[in-house]
Amino acid sequence: MTATFVRHELKAFWRSKNTGKSIAVRVVMGLLILYLLLIVCAIGFNLDKLLLKGGGKTDIVVTYCGIILLYYLSDLFTRLQLQDLPTLRVQPYLQLPVKRNSLVRYLAFTALLSVFNLWPFLLFVPFVLKIVMTDSGGWVALAFTVSIAGLTVFNNYLALYLKRKANINGWVFLIAAAAIILIGLSDFLWHFISIRKFSYLFFGSLIKYPLLAVIPVLLGAVMYYLNFLYLKDNLYLEELGSRKDTKYKSSTEYPFLSRFGSVGDLAANELKLIFRNKRPRSALIMGLFFMFYGLMFYPNPQMNGEGYKVFVSMFMTGIFIINYGQFMYAWQASHFDGLLVSKVKFGEFLRAKYLLFTMVSTVFLLLATPYVYFGWKTLVIEVIMYLWNIGVNTTMVLFFANRNYKRMDLSKGAAFNWEGMSGNQWILSFPLLIAPFIIYVPFAILHQANTGLGILGLVGLVCTFTRGFWIKKLEADFHTKRYTIAEGFRNK
């Protein structure tokens, strides 16, 4: 059965409207992963020397045992943001004589095929073989390896479980991320817990009692089982359809928007789209998570430079543009035909997008103003990046939107079939992330950082005021692509 699923998924991949784009993304991703793997390998094989240098007088085994759990904490954080969720369109199989368990098992097992699960082995196992084996013998080395495997599996499924939950309710993600950040801060900033000591407590004991390796394995198994059960439950949920919610749905109005005429109507519709569908709502709430980026970077003197501030400010004020915009117009895929034949002028349609982006970015800028605590320049940079976002990034995002042909179904259950925050998606937003640095970095190198910032702001401002021109360009571009987009969106 697994082989059939794999075959079907390969077909889905090759026959999708976006195959070209997906392949390009995968190639870039592959190269990036290869590069990272090489680095991790190098670190892994030289870990003993590195620890000797960095650990001072403490025994390297103690330092080693200390960093393992630390690694897993940051690993969890990275996974939450980058790891892909395995997907399979389950609906067509549900009424067929396919065992539910085999469907779920397929989804659960393919989740293990992630590079994230390779890293801990490359990082920690060479040390086990080089040092632990010679010091304490084969059994202890085996216990270490098994523990690492167990923790990896645990982390893998915990991250996926949280992501699946977050998919339905964005707050889950926010709370999980905040919890991880708080744990980190209470060790490194407030010093009232020590993850390293806790980690040594376990791995130190492992040297004396190798049998303790059972604990991480159990943790991994329990997490797997939890995932399995969750997926299985949701198999039923999806089958029952979306008619479960019986609350009275009332009509809403945004009087503020009505002054913009039909552009305002379109923007109001899109706001409703965001608030009434799980996935775009999650995208918005996850945007709030990036408000924490300042807290993660600014208190750290090493990451307080202006280059970091440019980066962080761009995220904080523009995350909605990046995160929501990169799937654009597919949010409206299900009624795109209707939009095309209705009296909506495409120029107005684009104007509504600009209006929406500007509104949301403005709100995020206001939310980010408290960071003035880290110096007035922080606020200036935030405003500059805000201008950049509403001026340049909006236009870039819409340019890419003209090239997105893949349908997205908002009404379907989100737990199984979705694209959200994952490494692949971030690749697509790369151009958006690099662009400001192409302007800023040369000036920073020449010690003219302020000029660089000034130019960023100016470009943003100019682009904002020449929107009419860009809208015309985008409209002309759209008219060459409209049939392909509409056809792609019709492909379920």
Partner 1 sequence: MIEIKNLKKVYNGVIVVNVPDIHIKKGESVGLVGNNGAGKTTLFRVMLDLIRPEAGQVLSNGEDVAGHENWKNYTASYLDEGFLIDYLTPEEYFYFIGGLHQQSRATVDDFLAGLTDFFNGEILKKGKYIRDLSKGNQCKVGVASCLLQNPGLLMLDEPFANIDPSTQFRLKSILKDLNKNKGVTTLISSHDLNHITDVCDRILLMEKGVIIKDIATSSSTLNELEQYFGVGQIASAKTITEE
242 binds partner 1 (CB under 8 A): yes
Choose, by CB under 8 A, the member of 12, 454, 490, 491 that binds partner 1. 490
Given the complex with partner 1, which of 88 and 485 has the nearer CB atom? 485
Q: Does 334 engage in binding with partner 1 (CB under 8 A)? A: yes
Phi and psi angles of residue 411, each rounded to the nearest 5 degrees, phi first: -80, -20
Nearer to partner 1, 264 or 318 (CB): 264
Nearer to partner 1 by C-beta: 256 or 483?
483
**Among the listed residues 74, 369, 411, 491, the single contact to partner 1 using CB under 8 A:** 411
Closest CA to 103 of 237, 8, 235: 235
Residues in 345-404 that interact with partner 1 by CB under 8 A: 345
Task: List the end-to-end C-alpha distance of the chain, in Å, as a whole number.
Answer: 24
Judged by CB under 8 A, does residue 248 bind partner 1?
yes
> How near is the Cβ of 30 to partner 1 at its closest, in Å?
32
- Does the footprint of partner 1 cover residue 259 (CB under 8 A)? no
The only residue of 95, 134, 251, 302 in contact with partner 1, by rule CB under 8 A: 251
Nearest approach in angstroms of CB 19 to partner 1 is 17
| Interaction between residue 487 and partner 1 (CB under 8 A) | yes
Q: Does 475 bind partner 1 (CB under 8 A)?
A: no
Residue 410 interacting with partner 1 (CB under 8 A): yes
- Under the binding rule (CB under 8 A), the answer on residue 491 touching partner 1 is no
340 is an interface residue for partner 1 by CB under 8 A? yes
Q: Is residue 342 close enough to count as binding partner 1 by CB under 8 A?
A: yes
Least distance from partner 1 to the Cβ atom of residue 328, Å: 16
Listed ranges 9-17, 417-425, 444-452, 478-486: which one lies at the site for partner 1 (CB under 8 A): 478-486
When asked if residue 486 is in the footprint of partner 1 (CB under 8 A), the reply is yes
Q: How far is the CB of 257 from partner 1 (least distance, A)?
A: 12
Question: How far is residue 118's CA from residue 333's CA, in Å, rounded to a whole number?
Answer: 37
Closest distance of CB 265 from partner 1, Å: 5
Q: Which is nearer to partner 1, 135 or 239 (CB)?
A: 239
Q: How many residues bind partner 1 (CB under 8 A)?
A: 33
Three-state SS annotation for the chain: CHHHHHHHHHHHHHCCCCHHHHHHHHHHHHHHHHHHHHHHHHHHHCHHHHHHHHCCCCCHHHHHHHHHHHHHHHHHHHHHHHCCCCCCCCHHHHCCCCCHHHHHHHHHHHCCCCHHHCHHHHHHHHHHHHHHHHHHCHHHHHHHHHHHHHHHHHHHHHHHHHHHHHHHCHHHHHHHHHHHHHHHHHHHCCCCCCHHHHHHHHHHHHHHCHHHHHHHHHHHHHHHHHHHHHHHHHHHHHHHCCCCCCCCCCCCCCHHHHCCHHHHHHHHHHHHHHHHCHHHHHHHHHHHHHHHHHHHHCCCHHHCCHHHHHHHHHHHHHHHHHHHHCCCCHHHHHHHHHHHHCCCCHHHHHHHHHHHHHHHHHHHHHHHHHHHHHCHHHHHHHHHHHHHHHHHHHHHHHHHHCCCCCCCCCCCCCCCCCCCCCHHHHHHCHHHHHHHHHHHHHHHHCCCHHHHHHHHHHHHHHHHHCHHHHHHHHHHHHHHHHHHHHHHHHCC
Stretch that binds partner 1, among 6-14, 55-63, 297-305, 337-345 (CB under 8 A): 337-345
**Ranges within 275-314 binding partner 1 (CB under 8 A):** 276-277
Q: Could you tell me which residues come within 8 angstroms of residue 455 by beta carbon, excluding any fewer than 6 positions away? A: 439, 443
Widest distance between CA atoms in the chain: 77
* 6-45 positions binding partner 1, by CB under 8 A: none
337 part of the interface to partner 1, by CB under 8 A:
yes
* Nearer Cβ to partner 1 (57/343): 343
Interacting residue with partner 1 among 11, 53, 335, 472 (CB under 8 A) = 335
In 10 A of CB 103, how many CB atoms? 20
Question: Would you count residue 451 as binding partner 1 (CB under 8 A)?
Answer: no
Nearer to partner 1, 53 or 276 (CB): 276
Q: Tell me which stretch binds partner 1 (CB under 8 A): 14-22, 265-273, 293-301, 452-460.
A: 265-273
Q: Is 472 near partner 1 (CB under 8 A)?
A: no
Question: For binding to partner 1 (CB under 8 A), which residues are involved?
Answer: 242-243, 247-252, 262, 265, 269, 272-273, 276-277, 334-338, 340-345, 410-411, 479, 483, 486-487, 490
